[in-house]
Structures are given as C-alpha cells and as structure tokens.
Amino acid sequence: MSDVGRAELDAARVLLSRMGISPSDLVEAASDRPPAPTFAEYVPVVAAAVSDGTRRAYGSYWKRVLEHWGQRRLDEPSPSEIEQLAEYAKTHVVARRNARGGRSAAEHLIAALRCLYKRAVAVSAGKGSVDLMTWQMQLQLNVERPAADADTARLLRSWFTGAFEAMGGSLREALLAAEPLSDEVLRRRPRADPYGRPGDVWCHVMTGVPGARGLRYRTKAFSSKSWDMFLRGFDAVPATGELKVRTLDSTGFPNALPMFRVNSAFNEESDPKLVEHHGRWLFLDVGFDPDWLDDPAYQKATLAFVRGVVDSCNPAYGEISYDRGTRRTAFENVFKGLPIRTVLESRQTLRGYGWLTICPQELGDRLGGADALRSTGAFAEVARLAGGGYWLLATTDYRDFDQESAERIFLILAPVLRDGDPLPDSPDDPPYYVSRRNAAELKG
C-alpha cells in the first residue's frame, strides 16, 4: 500500500468521474498498455488536432504545463500536483480586471489539462480524435405560448426547419446524403447490436404527448417521411419535440461527438400550479458543436436564422452560450437558477447574457432603449426587434468573444440582472464568459 492519503484518493476518484473513467478502466488497460507519451510529445499533437478556438483558449495554459511538466508522462502527475499547478497559475496570473484573484486562470488550466486527458482517453479507446466533452453550445429562446394553436404550430415548425437548415452543418449534410434510416433499428435490433458503422450519423425525431400517466413519447428514425409527419404533428401542439443527430462511436452506437439537437418544450408539464399564476411559456433551444462557430459562414447563418425568428415574435429572452443541456443560461449556471421559474419573471429580471443576448422590450426600455445601449460601446450591434425586444451582439465575430467582453456587458446589464453571489467554481465547467460579480454592487 502506498503512502497516498485518503484525500488524494478521493480527489483522484472525483477527477476520474468527471472525465468519465472508472478505476476498473485503468486496471484493465494497464497490463499491456504502452508507456504514456510525455506532455512535450502530446501537447503539440492535441494542439494540431483541435479547433482554432480551443487552441486559442488553452494555448497559453498548455505552454505553462510544458514549462513545468514537459518531460513527464501524462500518467505521472498526481491529483495533488495538479492542484499545486492550478494554485501556481492562480498566484502568477497577469493582473486584469476580470482575473477574479486568479480563479479564472486556475479554472482554465484545469480545463486545458482535461482537454488533453480526454483526448488521450478517446484515442486509447479507439475513438480517434473524438472529443468527449460533455458540454455544447446552445441557442435558446423563451416566448409566451401564442394564444392560438395555429400560431404555436407555425412557430414550432419555423423553429425546427430553420434551425436544421441553418445550423445542422456537416451532420445535416451527412444525414441527407446517407441511406434512409430504418425504424427497425429502434424496434427489432438486439440491445447489443450496433446502430451502424462507426463514424456514420444517426438521427431521430420525437414528440411527447400528454396521456393519463404523463407524457407518451413517440420516437421515429429520421427519414423524409418521418420528418414530414413530425412537422405536421405540430398542428396538435405536442408538449415536447426533439430532433437529434448523433455520430456513431467506435462500437457503432450513437454516443460520439459532434452532435446536434433541436428541442421545444412547454412549462405546463413542469409545474401546473406555476402555470395558473404565470401563464404558459415555450422553451426553444438548439445544441451544437462549439467548434462550428469558428466558421464565419456558420456564424452568419446562425444569426440570420435567429433574427428571422425573433423579429416575428415578442421574445422574453434568448442567448447563445455554453451549456450542459439543462436549459439554464450561462448566468444561471454560474449564479444558480431554475429555468422553469426564472422564465416566469424574464420580463422583469434578465435571465443572463451571452455572445448574443435577446433582451425583452420591458428591460431594454428600462436600460434606455437602443440608442442608449448602442452609445455604451459594450456591443458590436444593437437593434430594436420588429416584434418587440432588443438584439444585443457582443462582438461581430464569435472568436473575439471572451471574459473581458462579458465583464464589459455586465456593467451595462447589471441594473436588470438578478442579485446574488456566484456558486463555487468547478474545474469541469466550460468557459461560460459571465462576470462573477454580484449585480447588486452596481445598483444604487
């Protein structure tokens, strides 16, 4: 038995859990595993494989890792040594307004290491360059449910068809070019049998309809026929809708990235009592690969789609930010918040902000309107929306959006944000780009 203490073992278990690795995985792989590469050997490999955005975010932290551990192998540093290096990064950070006492540097160093280890695990498992990060980018939009079912159905169809065409990217292209998917894979395939060949795409459409015992879900493999039926089904206004496109992993199961999803849901299925007092709300969201925003053409197509939707309604909130599939805004991930409750007051209190923020009419007016917001210089683009509300774009190019941009936006939007202190930092979090300052500090 080694001299490793219980605290270090607990820290190792937590780190492995967050990386999706069990201790048995390490034991089983140890017997015939070749020596792990050194950081000096592996960092350039990962840097060359990731996107420009990831390389720009983590490059300086990988450089620091090389300075300290360049000749060490990936499996050598202990959890306590990782903590020590994070503490070093925290205490040697360059002084900036958004440095938060070095906590941001420590977070990003841990995230940079996690990127290295996740890619190493993926390669050793035979999954090539698949990135197993658990978070994606999200586009989300909240609106009150239209009074007429026909208007609701029209909005839902516009959301799903527009998002799929504008934001589906390479996955949509691969799906439409592939052989039609069969429902037999869903109904008759033995559980142990793969869905298809590794690297292929799989897609389903699903609706949830209220029944006597809760929602009844109907799932169909994607085809031109099932897609048409799915869209026509919105005439009955289902409680939930989903289109999900996934990549098949090395075993032929739909568990790899990239992944793309489009969702809709109503709040009445969450808490009927709240609906009685606050009305019915519609959650619309799209999940997509963060790397796709490195393409200016993709940014342009995404923004054009969003603008078309929000100009046709009176939105209560919207944003583009990192997400874990919880429907929380980036702000709510940092400061805590339950979407089914915060949406109910989204015209009185801003739910957050991101690269793109859709601000409701009521709150934009309280901030002085389009001219006042534009004059702050905090946004690259400010516009009054045709149906009500404000379009606030932080930077013309998403690749220029960073923590400094978020701090600049916070100073302008703080008067309409919810007060409170941030949650404890987690090294497993994506870069939410939200100020950790309490909005109450800027309120008279």
pLDDT tens digits for 277-293? 556 899 999 999 888 99
Residue 207 pairs in a beta bridge with: 218, 241
CA separation, residue 338 to residues 155, 324, 332, 344, 345 (Å): 24, 14, 7, 10, 11
Tell me the domain boundaries of the chain.
6-124, 136-269, 314-444
Which of 209-218, 244-253, 285-294 reaches the highest mean pLDDT? 285-294
15-45 in b/e form (b: 16+ CB < 10 A) is bbeebebeeeeeeeeeeeeeeeebbeebbee
CA 148 distance to own-chain centroid: 32
> Which residues, 6+ apart, have CB-to-CB distance to 114 below 8 Å?
18, 19, 427, 428
Helix (H) or strand (E) holding 149: helix 149-167
Distance, CA of 194 to chain centre: 27
Report if pTM > 0.75. no
Residue 106 pLDDT: 74
Q: What are phi and psi of 207, to 5 degrees?
A: -125, 150
Angle at CA of residue 371, ends 369 and 377, nearest 5°: 110
Cis peptide before 194 (omega within 30 of 0): no
pLDDT of residue 97: 41
What is the band of 18 on the pLDDT scale with cuts at 50, 70, 90? very low
**Could you tell me the pLDDT band of residue 51, with boundaries at 50, 70 and 90?**
low
pLDDT of 28 reads 42
How many CB atoms are located within 10 Å of the residue 382 CB? 20
pLDDT band at 57 (very low <50, low <70, confident <90, very high): confident
Rounded to whole angstroms, the Cα distance separating 151 from 314 reads 13
Per-residue pLDDT tens over the stretch 251-266: 888 877 788 999 999 8
Give me the pLDDT at residue 6, please: 52
Distance from the Cα of residue 413 to its chain's centroid: 22
